[in-house]
Structures are given as structure tokens and as C-alpha cells.
Amino acid sequence: MSLLLRAKKRFKRLFRVLLRRKNARIGIYGPPNAGKTTLANRIVRDWTGDAVGPVSEIPHETRRARRKENITITGTNGSSVDIDIVDTPGVTTKIDYHEFLEYGLEKEEAITRAREATEGVAEAMHWLREDIDGVIYVLDSTLDPFLQVNIMMVGIIESRKLPVIIVANKIDLPDSSPARIKSAFPQHPVVAISGLEGQNMEQLYEEMTERFG
Amino acid sequence: MVQGVQIDLISEDRLSRLTSMEKIRLILDGVKEGNIVVLEKGLAPEEATKLIELTMLEIRPDGFSGIEMETYPAREDEGGLSSVISRILGRKNRSRMTVIGPANQLKTIRKEKDLISAWISSR
């Protein structure tokens, strides 16, 4: 790391302490079922031994934003960053309760889940507009990255000038193609990981200390 | 009666005269009626977040299930003099042509950086 960058980080940390500023709030965003909560659990477990929330193969398992405070992440280069992790509901532009019936949910339960999911998406957008200082944008690397909601969300994050890391998740799966994600968002750092298996997390932590420090 | 889908093509000029909320209402009201709305210039990021929030508020079981939107990614920074001038003048990336329709009628078939194929069905 250059001398200038190190000095800048030290100054920022000192500034934060002097002004008693709170930790940077890093939002984990992405479409439903991209593995956001799995990643949030992995990060929180690695650094605090705790967890954020339950995961499920049924979309919209996370329907409320959850914050885990005071996580100190240290990169392999020795630099560290103090953050709060905010696990957010998956952002989408459509929710149909019939989708949940296919996973064996009863109609009543599916309707309730759909209603809560709509509230969750609105809540996630509100957090992004008002309370988030940096973003980890999680994409399922087995799927098309040009999904409209991805393009729109990255545009929103860019317009807020928030530091962002794009995570190409699920590289443990055979159809995974992180290269497709890298070519879709060449202007941002992309880290290929498996949140489930814990593959390549060191690189993500390194990137987090660089971007969010 | 002939079955079909109404398509509203809204010019950049008209959009520029509307406030954010007027734009969002125009889009949502049209889409909820089953129309396909084509914007010559897409929404600003802030407007997009509000469109998502309002869409979520209007979703009903066995009724409106949300929207489908199609657009191209923002243009990459081209570099060179024009890029420098844009930065000095504080110009932002221009949002691009956007197609919005009811989620149960507009489906993406194929999407690339510079090509979108979508399929529209009548209700």
C-alpha cells in the first residue's frame, strides 16, 4: 500500500475518533437468493463468532434489514476497518405470492410472505437512500448479471457515490461464471467467492479494508 | 374485438417537464392498466428508488404483481477530452431508453450489454 494511502487511512481513522463518528454502515445488497444472508453470516461469524439471520432456498427469507454492529475486519496486509454490517432484503421490482406456492407454502402463508417481502424491499431502498455508507453488491454468478434490477441498483449506488464491492457469489457451483459479472461491471472491483464454502474470503476482506477503510 | 397491448412512448421533452412524482405516477398508472410504457430517457437513480418503493406498496395478491423494466447499462466512461469536460461541468451519466410493463406481461428473452429482446403478452 502506498505511503499516501496509508496516511489517508490513518487521518480518516483519527478524524472518526475525534468526531466520535459511528462505524461505517456497509449494506449487503443484491437480488433475492443471491446469497446475501449467507455472506453476512460468514463475515459476522468469521470476525465475531455470531450470525445475522436464517437462510432458505425460498426467495425473500430476509424480509427485514438486520444490522450487526462493531465488526473489525483485518486484511492480510494488516490494515483493518471497523464497520456495521446491514443485511438487507433482496431487491426486486415484482413479487407474486404464487412463486412461493411452488416451494410448498400454503396460500395464506405465501400471501403473508409476499406482503412482508414488499415491505422489506421498500425498507432496503430506504436504507440505501438514507443510512448506508458503503455497499457489498452480491450477485449469483450462475445467473445473468444484466438483470434489470442489478443495472438499476448499481446506477443508484454510483449516483450516491458510495464505495462498492461487487461479489460474484456461488463460485462453488459448476455453472458459475464470475467473468460474466466482471465484464458486466468493469468500472467496479469484483471479487469471486463462495459465501457458503468460504472460498476466497481473504480477498474480499482485503478489498473491504481498502474500500471501506 | 382485436386483442392488443397499448404502448405509450413518452418523449424526453415531456419527461423533462414532469416532477419526479408525476413521472412515477404516469408510469405506474399506465402499467397498472396493462400498458407498456417506453421512456425516451430513463429515470434518475433517485426516481428509480422511489419507483421501486411505490411499486412495492401497490402490489396486491391476485392483482398487480409489480413491474418489469428493461434498459441498457449506463455508458462506460469514454475517456479523453469529452470525459474531462463532462467532469468539469458536473455532467452525470445519461440514463437511457427504458421500457416498463406489468411483470405478468413483459418478459425478457435475452439481454446483453447492447441488445435487449423482450416478449409482450396481452392480458
A63 lies in some domain:
yes
More confident residue, A16 or B102: B102
Q: Which residues of A touch B53 (CB under 8 A)?
A: 121-122, 125-126
- Of A116, A132, A148, the residue that ends a domain is A132
Same domain, A169 and A110: no
Q: Could you tell me if B115 lies within 8 Å of chain A, comparing CB atoms?
A: no
CA A51 to chain centre: 15
* pLDDT given for residue A17 in this prediction: 57
A38 lies in some domain:
no
Listed by start position, the domains of chain B span 7-120
Distance between B25 CA and the closest CA of chain A, angstroms = 15
Question: Based on the structure, what is the number of domains in chain A?
Answer: 2
- Candidate from A118, A160, A184 with C-beta closest to B56: A118
A30 lies in some domain:
no
Q: Could you tell me if B117 lies within 8 Å of chain A, comparing CB atoms?
A: no
A52 lies in some domain:
yes
A104 lies in some domain:
yes
A171 lies in some domain:
yes
- B41-52 pLDDT, tens per residue? 989 988 999 999
**Taking CB atoms and an 8 Å limit, are A94 and B113 in contact across chains?**
no
**Taking CB atoms and an 8 Å limit, are B45 and A155 in contact across chains?**
yes
State the pLDDT confidence band at B54, using cuts at 50, 70 and 90: very high
Distance between B66 CA and the closest CA of chain A, angstroms = 4
Q: Could you tell me if B55 lies within 8 Å of chain A, comparing CB atoms?
A: yes
A16 lies in some domain:
no
- Candidate from B53, B92, B103 with C-beta closest to A125: B53
- Of A86, A117, A132, the residue that ends a domain is A132
**Taking CB atoms and an 8 Å limit, are A97 and B46 in contact across chains?**
no
The span from the CA of A48 to the CA of A30, in Å, is: 23
**Taking CB atoms and an 8 Å limit, are A152 and B71 in contact across chains?**
yes
- Substitution target in B59, B75, B104 with the highest count of A β-carbons within 10 Å is B59
Q: Which residues of B touch A115 (CB under 8 A)?
A: 61
Same domain, A124 and A167: no
- B88-101 pLDDT, tens per residue? 555 555 668 899 99
Q: How close are the terminal C-alpha atoms of chain A, in Å?
A: 13
Nearest to A95 by CA among A146, A127, A58: A58
A97 lies in some domain:
yes
State the pLDDT confidence band at B70, using cuts at 50, 70 and 90: confident
Same domain, A115 and A141: no
Same domain, A87 and A161: no
Using the predicted structure, report yes or no on whether residue B83 has a pLDDT greater than 70. no
Q: Could you tell me if B67 lies within 8 Å of chain A, comparing CB atoms?
A: yes
Taking the model in full, what pTM does it have?
A: 0.85
Residue A75: which domain range? 48-132
- A13-66 pLDDT, tens per residue? 666 656 556 789 999 999 999 999 999 999 999 999 888 888 988 999 999 999
CATH code of the domain covering residue A195: 3.40.50.300
Using the predicted structure, report yes or no on whether residue A92 has a pLDDT greater than 70. yes
Same domain, A105 and A158: no
Count contacts between A and B (CB, < 8 Å): 91
- Of A132, A150, A178, the residue that ends a domain is A132
- Left if phi > 0, otherwise alpha if psi is -120 to 50, otherwise beta: which for A69? beta
